[in-house]
Each structure stands twice: as structure tokens, then as C-alpha cells.
Structure 1
Amino acid sequence: MLRCRVLGHRFRFSSEGDTMRWTCQRGCGAGGAKTYPSAAAARRYATAFDREDRADLGRRAPLVGLLPVRLARAVRHRGQGG
């Protein structure tokens, strides 16, 4: 799939018993599985990996591409006395 080649895969993680599974949300067929010692461990890892960090975009913005966002956040933070 062209989108996955250009933008990379968008993996979604889930757990089934002691197995964590991941599949590409874009439907290209990429994915895999890993077995853990317990169902709790598989669930913990699946929950940790299945996150989208869009809420932290301004705080953790890449240095080059979103430099204006980082600068605006720094100026705003500095203006608040921090």
C-alpha cells in the first residue's frame, strides 16, 4: 500500500490471552504477534503500545518540522512566568 510505504505503518495493538497482536490500521496486511508469560503482561504491553501521542504534539514536536510550534509554546510558557 502506497500510504504505508510513504508514511509508515499505523499499527494497532491488542491482546488475546497471553498473546499480543498488532495489525496495520490502514489495511495493508502488515502485522504480527508475540507471546508473553501471562495474559496480564500481554494486556499491559498492548495497552502501552496502542497509543497515539497527538495530545503531546506541541510539547514533543520534532525539532525541524514543527519548530514554529515549539517556539510558540516556549514563548507562551516564558510569558506565564515559567
Structure 2
Amino acid sequence: MTLACRLLGHRPRFTSEGNTLVWSCDRKCEAGGAKEYETAGDAARYARAFDREDREDLGRRAPLIGLFPLRLFRTFRNRHRSRHDSGAQRS
């Protein structure tokens, strides 16, 4: 196993060969496997579905740490609004 796989985990890549779904680590650490499906179409469909990286959705789905400043800002803004709104209702 490579150092990158030990620290970051495997980077699996999926392909299909006939009715077999095949995966291997993109970091060339020799990890991998295969699974047979009833049809070649099923294997190809699963390979397409699984063969994507989280980085592809990064703009739509930010990591928790990346959202932390935004969460703090929203909490502060909501507290400020609730204080302001409750003060306006008393008047």
C-alpha cells in the first residue's frame, strides 16, 4: 500500500469488462476487485455511477470545515435578527 493510500485512503476507479465491474486504486497500490452482474449493461451502469470523485460536486456540496465560517455568520445574523424583531414587537 502506498503512503498516499495509508494517509488519504484509496482512490478507486471503476470500469466494466463485459458483465464484470472492475475496480482498482488510481494510486497504483495494487488494491482492487471485481464483481459480476447479470448483464454487461448493468456492469457498465454501475461503473459509470461509481466512477466519480467527490471533487466533481465541490461547488454544490462544500465540506463541513469549508462551511464553518458561513455557519457562524448565519448564527450571528439569526441571533441579531431575532433580537431586532423581538424589540420591534415590544414597541
Alignment TM class, shorter chain as reference = 0.7 to 0.9
Aligned to 1:24: 25
Alpha-carbon distance in 2 for matches of 1:55, 1:19: 25
Uncovered stretches (5+) of structure 2, i.e. residues with no partner: 75-91
SS at match of 1:60: coil
What is the letter of the counterpart of residue 55 of structure 1?
E
Aligned to 1:39: 40
Residue 3 in 1 paired to residue 8 in 2? no
Q: Superposition RMSD on alpha carbons, in Å?
A: 2.0
* TM-score w.r.t. length of structure 1: 0.76
Uncovered stretches (5+) of structure 1, i.e. residues with no partner: 76-82
Aligned to 2:58: 57
Runs of 4+ in 1 over 3 A off after TM superposition: none
Q: How many Å apart are 1:53 and its aligned residue?
A: 3.1
SS at match of 1:47: helix
Alpha-carbon distance in 1 for matches of 2:47, 2:56: 19
What is the letter of the counterpart of residue 15 of structure 2?
S
Specify which structure has the higher proportion of helix: 2
* TM-score w.r.t. length of structure 2: 0.69
Q: Sequence identity of aligned pairs in percent? A: 64
SS at match of 2:38: coil
Residue 66 in 1 paired to residue 73 in 2? no
What is the letter of the counterpart of residue 67 of structure 1?
L
Bigger Rg over Cα: 2
SS at match of 1:66: helix
Aligned to 1:15: 16
In the alignment of these two chains, the number of paired residues is 71
